Amino acid sequence: MSVRNRNIVKAQKKDCCGVTDILKQDLARRLQSRQAVVGVIGLGYVGLPLCIAIAESGSRVIGLDIDPTKIVRLAKGESYIKHIPADKIRNTNDTTRFMATSDFSRLKEVDAILICVPTPLTSHFEPDLSFVVSTGETVAKHLRAGQLIVLESTTFPGTTSQVLRPILEKSGLKNGVDFFLAFSPEREDPGNPDFSTSQIPKVVGGDDPNARALAVALYEGFIAKTIPVSSTATAEAVKITENIFRAVNIALVNELKVIYRKMGIDIWEVIDAAKTKPFGFMPFLPGPGLGGHCIPKDPEYLAWKLKSLNYRTRFIELATEINSNMPTYVVDRLNSLLNEARKPVKGSKLFLIGMAYKRNVGDVRDSPAIDIATLLSHRGAQISYHDPYVPILKEAGLEMRSVELTEEVLRASDCTIILTDHSGLNWQWIADSSRLVLDTRNATRGIDRTGSRVVVL
- Residues 358/291, Cβ–Cβ less than 8 Å: yes
Annotated active-site residue in 51, 116, 294, 415: 294
Q: Which of 79, 143, 83, 92 is nearest to 115 (CA)?
A: 143
CA distances from 411 to 355, 375, 405, 415 (A): 20, 23, 11, 9
Residue 235 contacts by C-beta under 8 Å, 6 or more apart in sequence?
182, 183, 184, 185, 203, 204, 205, 229
What 8-state DSSP symbol labels residue 230? Answer: S
Beta bridge partners of 38: 61, 112
Residue 363 contacts by C-beta under 8 Å, 6 or more apart in sequence?
45, 190, 292, 293, 356, 357
CA distances from 23 to 106, 171, 176, 194, 356 (A): 20, 17, 10, 38, 46
Q: Please indicate whether residue 294 is annotated as part of the active site.
A: yes
- Distance, in Å, from the CA atom of 45 to the CA atom of 58, rounded to the nearest integer, reads 21
* 299 burial type by CB count under 10 A (0-12 exposed, 13-18 middle, 19+ buried): buried
Cα end-to-end span (Å), the chain: 68
- Residues 197/49, Cβ–Cβ less than 8 Å: yes
- Residues 337/436, Cβ–Cβ less than 8 Å: yes
- Residues 126/304, Cβ–Cβ less than 8 Å: yes
Q: Distance between alpha carbon 15 and the CA centroid of its chain, in Å?
A: 43
What 8-state DSSP symbol labels residue 345? Answer: S
List the catalytic residues.
Answer: 294
